[in-house]
Amino acid sequence: MTRGSIPEGDGRPVGVVESGEHADTAGDRGGHSSSHHGRRRGREGQDGCCEHPERALSGPGPGATPRVGCRARTGLSAVDPRWVGEPATAVAAVGAGLRALHDALPVADCPFDWSVPARVAAARRRGIRLPVALTEGPVVDRLVVCHGDACCPNTLIGGDGRWSGHVDLGALGVADRWADIAVAAMSTDWNYGPGWERALLDGYGIDADAARMSFYRDLWNAT
């Protein structure tokens, strides 16, 4: 994947995507699991993250494969106690950060596929039998480079209350933006309690789409 920047709220680059060795791997951050499944796996068994961003940005070597790297940023997880105590600020930041990521990364240059067919095939390889209703998704609204695990804990928020970065990018790939939006909105209930989905959609800048949200949540939970 070619280099691309993910601008922060003030326009400064937060992340980059370029070719090189896979980013360093690590376990859960701060004990926060991104979903009820625990930490999700990335590209066929890899855990992708940006815990050591400067090392992740080291130059490409022989036989290098595309990967995601991040610049070092300050910020706390959106589920840090500070932000759990300020859910309106946190949820708005998560939505805005997800929109910025979707708008910034070039779909044409992304070699990773997170579409419904790709996810169904990956599930089958893991021995997961999906109901027929989950094997064909809704008509695509907008193709973007999705985060792949857009649950709230994977957004970092700076001291000013705006998003400052993303972590856990091991499942990043091209898909309908609702594959991310649906999961991000669903995770507000786990992390802040009921009633925050609308605020996340407002932060992203989109109206609810009940059919797409329902499908992508069911697919997430099934896989």
CB atoms inside a 10 Å sphere around CB 205: 10
Please state, in angstroms and rounded to a whole number, the distance separating the CA atoms of residues 116 and 4.
25
Question: Could you count the other beta carbons within 10 Å of the beta carbon of residue 110?
Answer: 23
Tell me the two tokens of residue 83.
């932000």
The phi-psi region of residue 5 (left if phi > 0; otherwise alpha if psi is between -120 and 50; otherwise beta) is: beta
Tokens 């991000």 appear where? 184
Query: Which residues are marked as active site?
Result: 149
Helix (H, G, I), strand (E, B) or coil at 58: coil
